[in-house]
């Protein structure tokens, strides 16, 4: 049970320490492991993220965890249904990168939802909402810096000034407001945490060896089949593969790419994402850890490339596509 929502619970503890005048970036006693310590760099959330999440820190952690799950899953499901008229629940339940993020209490899906709805609002002409969501998404750059930059560039190119203006104002409110409330020194603590964070996690892109070239080839085939006319989806796919952080939950954005590009995606490859976990690593080296991560991520691409199995659900999917 100690791993259930572990990241979220520790983040809430960080915010409580910050609210009481301490350094939220550590080190400080681990609230989940008596006698343990949370090291500097355990997380690298920028200070505005802590400010936004502060109201949750005053709720019991089971309640705040359920609320953050609802804010992540419900908009993602709604986006999938509006995009393809299919549910995204199989991805959430069966695909390891998404399920792991949920079990650990990660916020990756929440920020991915902000990016997806920013693009959708921009398509609908709701540029103010799109700009606000992009500013919020920028608080977790590993989710989609490249597609966010693309949306901003398109808005500026087309002189849709409402979007970049709302983005700039929201960013100023988040970053400047945090400095006014907490003092500029909070950013010095954050910079120190970034250095520690980089040392704790593998910082190689997913397309690096040992299996990275295979992932790149699969992604290229996926793009050639389904995504050649979708620049936003292409930038999201490319960003996920080249961002220098090869942890499983960072690949969550692949679910959105597959859902967006191939409405007939089958369910069974999602289950395969759990298969590598049944073969524990004999040696924990950067290469073996990267290989397992890449093998798990590959199942997301296989979901778009493999055919559906025959069954009664296939007719329903074809009718909705």
Model pLDDT, residue 315: 54
Model pLDDT, residue 314: 56
Q: Is 87 helix (H, G, I), strand (E, B) or coil?
A: coil
52: preceding bond cis by omega (within 30 degrees)? no
Q: Count how many residues are written for the chain.
A: 321
**For residues 198 and 167, what is the distance between their CA atoms, to the nearest angstrom?**
28
Model pLDDT, residue 41: 79
8 Å CB contact between 109 and 116: no
Where in the chain are the domains? Answer: 6-200, 212-320
- Per DSSP, 145 falls in state H
Model pLDDT, residue 197: 81
- For 155-203, the pLDDT digits (tens) are 999 999 999 999 999 999 999 999 999 899 999 999 988 888 877 777 8
Model pLDDT, residue 65: 94
Residue 72, C-beta contacts closer than 8 angstroms, at least 6 positions apart: 102, 107, 109, 110, 113
**For residues 45 and 116, what is the distance between their CA atoms, to the nearest angstrom?**
20
- Per DSSP, 275 falls in state G
8 Å CB contact between 87 and 115: no
Model pLDDT, residue 311: 62
Q: And the tokens for 219?
A: 């992604």
User: Largest alpha-carbon pair distance within the chain?
Assistant: 60
- For 191-232, the pLDDT digits (tens) are 988 888 877 777 889 999 999 999 999 999 999 999 999 999
Model pLDDT, residue 257: 98
List strand residue ranges (DSSP E) for the chain, in order: 28-29, 37-38
Q: And the tokens for 306?
A: 């493999």
Backbone CA torsion sign across 276, 279, 285, 287: negative
Q: Report the run of H or E that residue 51 belongs to, with start and end.
A: helix 47-53
**For residues 8 and 42, what is the distance between their CA atoms, to the nearest angstrom?**
12
Model pLDDT, residue 87: 96
8 Å CB contact between 90 and 267: yes
Give Cα 118 to chain centroid, integer Å: 15
* pLDDT < 50: residue spans in the chain: none
**For residues 100 and 235, what is the distance between their CA atoms, to the nearest angstrom?**
24
């Amino acid at each position: 049970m100690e791993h259930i929502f572990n990241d979220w619970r520790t983040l809430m503890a960080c915010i409580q320490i910050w609210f009481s005048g301490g350094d939220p970036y550590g080190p400080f006693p681990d609230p989940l492991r008596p006698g343990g310590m949370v090291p500097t760099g355990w997380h690298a959330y920028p200070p505005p993220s802590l400010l936004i999440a502060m109201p949750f820190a005053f709720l019991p952690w089971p309640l705040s965890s359920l609320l953050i799950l609802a804010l992540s899953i419900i908009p993602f499901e709604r986006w999938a249904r509006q995009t393809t008229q299919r549910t995204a629940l199989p991805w959430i339940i069966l695909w390891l990168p998404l399920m792991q993020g949920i079990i650990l209490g990660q916020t990756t899906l929440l920020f991915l939802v902000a990016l997806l709805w920013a693009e959708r609002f921009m398509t609908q002409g709701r540029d103010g909402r799109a700009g606000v969501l992009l500013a919020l998404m920028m608080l977790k750059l590993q989710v989609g810096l490249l597609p966010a930059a693309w949306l901003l560039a398109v808005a500026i190119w087309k002189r849709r000034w409402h979007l970049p203006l709302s983005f700039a104002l929201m960013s100023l409110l988040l970053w400047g407001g945090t400095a006014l409330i907490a003092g500029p020194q909070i950013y010095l603590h954050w910079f120190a945490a970034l250095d520690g964070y980089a040392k704790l996690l593998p910082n190689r892109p997913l397309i690096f060896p040992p299996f990275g070239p295979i992932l790149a080839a699969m992604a290229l085939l996926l793009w050639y089949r389904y995504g050649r006319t979708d620049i936003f989806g292409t930038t999201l796919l490319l960003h996920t593969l080249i961002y220098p952080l090869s942890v499983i939950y960072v690949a969550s954005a692949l679910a959105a790419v597959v859902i967006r590009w191939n409405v007939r995606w089958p369910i069974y490859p999602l289950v395969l994402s759990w298969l590598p976990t049944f073969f524990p690593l004999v040696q924990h080296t950067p290469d073996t850890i990267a290989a397992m991560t890449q093998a798990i991520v590959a199942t997301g691409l296989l979901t778009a490339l493999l055919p559906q199995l025959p069954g009664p659900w296939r007719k329903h999917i074809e009718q909705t596509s």
